[in-house]
Structure 1
Amino acid sequence: MRGLCFIALLAILSATAERIVVTNDDGWAVAQIRAQVNALVDAGHDVILSAPADNQSGTGAMQKTAQPRTEPCEFDSCPPGAAMGNNASDSRLNWINAFPADSAQYGIQTLAPQLWDGVLPDFVVSGPNVGHNTGFSVFGSGTIGAAGKAVQLGVPAVAFSGTGTAHESYTALDIVPASATVSAAETYASLVTEFLDALFSQPPTSPPFLPANIMLNVNLPALDGACTAESVAWVLTRVFPVLLGNPDVVTCGNGGRLPVEGTVVSQGCFATVSAIDALLKVDVSKSVQQEVLDRLVNLGFSCV
């Protein structure tokens, strides 16, 4: 009986372990993205990092052909001379001298087939970004541009952002005691992993995980003594306000109008979740919002 229970447990664990490409717009060597990779690996996922060689914030969905670098990567994390490369001791940690959308495409179309024997990723995590991406910033955000590119290539994706971290090298993760921004990076990484656990634990759906042609924009709150990983409340939101009508899913007694993410995330210990069109970066219909709500039922949304 114990053997059967153990086999069943393994089956459950394997069912929730996914092949994930992690990308961002802050660069492959920042502490936040390395903390996120570590957290996902510790959770049992198979992870490939594919991110820009240096900070490419504000490049939106732009793309370009990668060119050999004339200078080292950010934080001297790679030598000049190549257009792309990887960590010398870990081929799963990769950079490309291009934009965030390019790094997502590189991870999906080149690295994943190489490292996973021809198999494409199940999911793309973009970020967490250093700083929030709310309102009109979604149009220029490279974090969101990378996630949107992934969805356009057929891979579900979520963009994560938070204000508590700083643009610092991954080497800061090894310093004891940890700085406040490194602690925030690790907390954000745990929150992203918690979010994905809820998303991945849903019953089988078609398409898997998220509705077709949409992505999620998630903004994590500023952290302090009163706002910790344990106290963060998840709230379904929209990116842009509306003036007329009731265009949204009915939840929390909202009368058909979701709160705006920028307002909610600044009000307290709330993490906002908005569903947007992966190409246009605008709010989706209430029927799609309802589908997202149903697929994230295990997250436990709160009201504000």
Structure 2
Amino acid sequence: MYHPLVAQAALAVSFLAAATVPRNLVLSNDDGWATAQIRAQFDALVAAGYEVILSAPALNQSGKGSRSKTPSVLDEPCEFDTCPVGSPAEGFNASDPRLNYVNAYPVDAARYGVQTLSRQFFDGSSPDFVVSGPNIGREYLNVGISTQFSGTVGAAAEASKLGIPAVAFSGASGSHVSYTTLVSSPTSTSALAANIYANLTIDFLRVLFNTTASPLLPPGVILNVNYPSATRCPDPAEYRWVLARNLWNPFATDVEVCGSARLPTEADVVANEDGCYASVTVISATTKTDVGRATQAAIVESLEGLPLSCMD
């Protein structure tokens, strides 16, 4: 039987051996600090050998985009009653201080992780990388115009603006459930989806971190990765990665992939039911939409080991 954490641990020896591989990570999202999705990703990153700080909203803050506000004392409990009314604006899990909440928006949580928490946990240093998500898609992914409103994309974009490379991840399956579901109902759709997407993210990062490119991602650029339905595609080995566009543009000339200089849209990639295709889109951290051909080409070179696939 496939076990994602065993597979992830096996990968650690190979890709953490190189001294240049990013090791210190901040993990954020917009769905909240206590969801099954983000905790499965945290566990998977730790099992793979990374040093990880989780810094995410205290409550579900989906759809907040790049909005920001001053963190405030909790006037309602954290999601799933993980902290009581009156808790401080920023707090942590008493049994594991690497698990942190911020009672504000995704951008604020990501910024707190980069500027404050990382310096506490990483010997005064900034993180090497920010992982945002995977977002709980519930069949609504961070594709097309939705990147403008996605807090998951907003958190990754904020990290990039602060000089930290970042990727936003989203999956079509799963629901907004507590991290306790990972133990209490490990065969539930939400728990299985959380573990599948966490494993795929580990594999994606392994390839990206093994690149010889410097910097890891061009300044002001993030990647937006969307996974198809885990119910339809339960085996991580069946997933294929397809370079895509955020928005359809008949006048754009993209990097040539699969014999064409016109990339498919990310929405078309994840909706294709003829295979298990995950979209990989290169977007600007400022506009949150497509970059030019030259920047796309640089990312193709960085992801050479993935490998990128053509849709059948």
Q: Same fold judged by TM-score > 0.5?
A: yes
Shift of 1:9: 7.2
Confirm whether residue 18 of structure 1 aligns to residue 26 of structure 2.
Answer: no
Give distance in 1, aligned partners of 2:93 and 2:234.
35
Q: Residue 212 of structure 1 is aligned with which of 182, 199, 219?
A: 219
Q: Residue 80 of structure 2 is aligned with which of 75, 78, 87?
A: 75
Give distance in 2, aligned partners of 1:211 and 1:303.
24
Tell me the residue number matched to 1:114: 120
Please identify, of 261-270 and 150-159, the stretch whose mean Cα deviation from structure 2 is larger: 261-270
Give distance in 1, aligned partners of 2:101 and 2:265.
34
Amino acid in structure 2 at the alignment position of 1:36: Q
Confirm whether residue 33 of structure 1 aligns to residue 38 of structure 2.
Answer: yes
Tell me the residue number matched to 2:100: 94
Q: Report percent identity of matched pairs.
A: 49
SS at match of 2:223: strand
Q: Is the 8 A contact 1:172 1:178 kept in 2?
A: no
Shift of 1:165: 1.1
Cα deviation code 1:126-162 (max 9, x no counterpart): 0000111000000000000000000000000000001
Q: Is the 8 A contact 2:15 2:21 kept in 1?
A: no
Amino acid in structure 1 at the alignment position of 2:147: V
Q: Is the 8 A contact 2:16 2:49 kept in 1?
A: no
SS at match of 1:230: helix
Give distance in 1, aligned partners of 2:279 and 2:72.
37
Tell me the residue number matched to 2:9: none
Please identify, of 226-235 and 99-108, the stretch whose mean Cα deviation from structure 2 is larger: 226-235
* Inter-CA distance 177–118: structure 2 relative to 1 (3 Å threshold): closer
Shift of 1:238: 0.5
* Inter-CA distance 124–206: structure 2 relative to 1 (3 Å threshold): same
Which consecutive unaligned segments of at least 5 residues does structure 1 have?
1-7
Give distance in 2, aligned partners of 1:87 and 1:242.
46
Amino acid in structure 2 at the alignment position of 1:168: V
Shift of 1:10: 9.7
Q: Residue 240 of structure 2 is aligned with which of 226, 230, 233?
A: 233
Tell me the residue number matched to 1:271: 278
Amino acid in structure 1 at the alignment position of 2:165: P
Q: Is the 8 A contact 1:17 1:46 kept in 2?
A: no
Give distance in 2, aligned partners of 1:214 and 1:9.
27
Tell me the residue number matched to 1:3: none
Please identify, of 286-295 and 110-119, the stretch whose mean Cα deviation from structure 2 is larger: 110-119
Amino acid in structure 1 at the alignment position of 2:258: C
Please identify, of 80-89 and 216-225, the stretch whose mean Cα deviation from structure 2 is larger: 216-225
Confirm whether residue 52 of structure 1 aligns to residue 57 of structure 2.
Answer: yes
Q: How large is the RMSD of aligned CA atoms in angstroms?
A: 1.6
Aligned residues: 293
Q: Is the 8 A contact 1:138 1:281 kept in 2?
A: yes
* Inter-CA distance 226–63: structure 2 relative to 1 (3 Å threshold): closer
Tell me the residue number matched to 2:164: 155
Shift of 1:223: 1.8
Tell me the residue number matched to 2:180: 171
Cα deviation code 1:58-88 (max 9, x no counterpart): 0000000001111210100012221110001
* Inter-CA distance 249–119: structure 2 relative to 1 (3 Å threshold): same
Cα deviation code 1:249-293 (max 9, x no counterpart): 011011x11111001111031000000000111100000000000
Amino acid in structure 2 at the alignment position of 1:265: V
Tell me the residue number matched to 2:70: 65
Which consecutive unaligned segments of at least 5 residues does structure 2 have?
1-12
TM-score scaled to structure 2, two decimals? 0.91
Tell me the residue number matched to 2:199: 190
* Inter-CA distance 264–225: structure 2 relative to 1 (3 Å threshold): closer
Q: Is the 8 A contact 2:28 2:55 kept in 1?
A: yes
Q: Is the 8 A contact 1:151 1:215 kept in 2?
A: yes
* Inter-CA distance 288–258: structure 2 relative to 1 (3 Å threshold): same
* Inter-CA distance 10–146: structure 2 relative to 1 (3 Å threshold): closer
Larger radius of gyration, structure 1 or 2? 1
Tell me the residue number matched to 2:134: 128
Confirm whether residue 298 of structure 1 aligns to residue 305 of structure 2.
Answer: yes
Cα deviation code 1:157-188 (max 9, x no counterpart): 00000111110000111125521110110000
> After the TM superposition, which parts of structure 1 deviate over 4 Å for at least 4 consecutive aligned residues?
8-11
* Inter-CA distance 67–176: structure 2 relative to 1 (3 Å threshold): closer
